[in-house]
Chains A and B, each alone.
Chain A
Amino acid sequence: MSLDEFKAWFVTEIEWSPAEITEDSDLVEDLGMDSVGAVDLIAAIEDAVGGEVIMPIELLLQITTVRDAYLQYCALAHLPYESEVPR
């Protein structure tokens, strides 16, 4: 998925997203994301890469803008599996 495709995906899949976003849109300051919105976004990105892969806290904390979310989506799609989360 290219950045432009990711933006289109973002507007479609993220319920709280406004119709117009840019890659520089700040998720909290510009788009009004709160904690519940962050859960929606992270879950949607995890689903977009297959649903089983967990977005690590280290990557999650690097997401401030739409572009950041795209970069972490790309990272998540290509990082090797390490382990299963225990039940």
Chain B
Amino acid sequence: MSGSITAGEEARLSPSLHTRRLQLRMLTNEDHAPLYRLSSDPDVTFQWRFRGTTPSYDEFLKQLYPGVLCQFVVSPHGSQEVLGLVVAYNADFRHRFCHAAVVMHPSLHRRGLGIEAFMGLARYVYYGWDFRMIIMETVGIAFQNFSSGEEAGYFTVEGRIRDQFYYGGRYWDGVSVTHRRDQFEKAMQGPVGQLLTPGRRVKVPPAPR
């Protein structure tokens, strides 16, 4: 293939693990303890795989990798701080899809950083595999944090299981969402696409003591 590509196309075609504010990086042994703590955070655990139960550290580690296609710790640029985890798992190579999950520290919810981390994962997955879609299963209480993306066309709600999960004194729907390759391409044209473009960092003065 010949011809020049635009900056937007270059960003889309890059397998980079850097997004605008974040880096997706390989898990190391040092990340296991912070991830274990994150998995047991009361604001996270009921929406992550352990659903409020408290597995041993060894059991947590055993379940960290089975079924995983690729997973990355989410950190700020230039730091090893664990802000979250993005995972692509249960890949189906015959039908060309995989599942994905994003977990972020509760202090970062509703800031767009989960979407930024997910877009970094989606770029990596769509770059490396000829998948048609990425499927996410979520709980209604988490879905409301990004539900406006359906109207924007970033994803499609494929189904709901009414009152599937008990959490916080009530039942919440289970929500199945697909993010298809063409929706990824479309998202890259707007503000969400800006999350994957490089830029200039500014020097933030230290907070007053």
Tell me if chain B binds chain A.
yes
- Chain A interface (Cβ < 8 Å from any Cβ of B): 16, 28, 33-40, 42-44, 46, 51-61, 76, 79-87
Q: How far is the CA of A57 from the CA of B207 in the complex (A)?
A: 13
Q: How far is the CA of A74 from the CA of B11 in the complex (A)?
A: 28
- Assess the A35–B115 pair: CB atoms within 8 A: yes
Q: How far is the CA of A42 from the CA of B20 in the complex (A)?
A: 11
State how many angstroms separate the Cβ of A56 from the closest Cβ of chain B. 5
**B101-124 contacts to A (CB < 8 Å):** 107-116
25 cross-chain CB contacts under 8 A: A33-B110, A35-B112, A36-B115, A36-B149, A36-B154, A38-B110, A43-B191, A43-B195, A52-B200, A53-B199, A53-B202, A54-B199, A54-B200, A56-B202, A58-B207, A59-B204, A61-B108, A79-B202, A79-B204, A81-B202, A82-B200, A82-B203, A84-B201, A85-B201, A87-B18
B78 nearest CB neighbor, chain A only: A83
Q: How far is the CA of A52 from the CA of B202 in the complex (A)?
A: 10
B150 nearest CB neighbor, chain A only: A36
Q: How far is the CA of A52 from the CA of B199 in the complex (A)?
A: 5
On chain B, the residues within 8 Å of A40 by CB distance are 191
Q: Give the interface size bracket for B toward A.
A: 35 or more
Q: Which of B108, B112, B203 contacts A36 (CB 8 A)?
A: B112
B149 nearest CB neighbor, chain A only: A36
Q: Which of A39, A58, A76, A80 contacts B191 (CB 8 A)?
A: A39
The verdict on B77 contacting chain A, using a C-beta distance below 8 Å, is yes
Additional pairs, 16, CB under 8 Å, beyond known A35-B145, A52-B199, A54-B21 = A34-B110, A34-B146, A35-B110, A35-B115, A39-B116, A42-B112, A52-B200, A55-B21, A56-B204, A59-B204, A60-B111, A61-B108, A79-B203, A81-B203, A87-B16, A87-B18
The verdict on B52 contacting chain A, using a C-beta distance below 8 Å, is no
Q: How far is the CA of A54 from the CA of B195 in the complex (A)?
A: 10
- Assess the A46–B111 pair: CB atoms within 8 A: no
State how many angstroms separate the Cβ of B114 from the closest Cβ of chain A. 6
State how many angstroms separate the Cβ of A80 from the closest Cβ of chain B. 5
- Assess the A54–B20 pair: CB atoms within 8 A: yes
- Assess the B202–A57 pair: CB atoms within 8 A: no
On chain B, the residues within 8 Å of A86 by CB distance are 16, 18, 77, 198
Q: How far is the CA of A86 from the CA of B112 in the complex (A)?
A: 20
State how many angstroms separate the Cβ of B123 from the closest Cβ of chain A. 12
On chain A, the residues within 8 Å of B90 by CB distance are none
**B135-157 contacts to A (CB < 8 Å):** 144-149, 152, 154
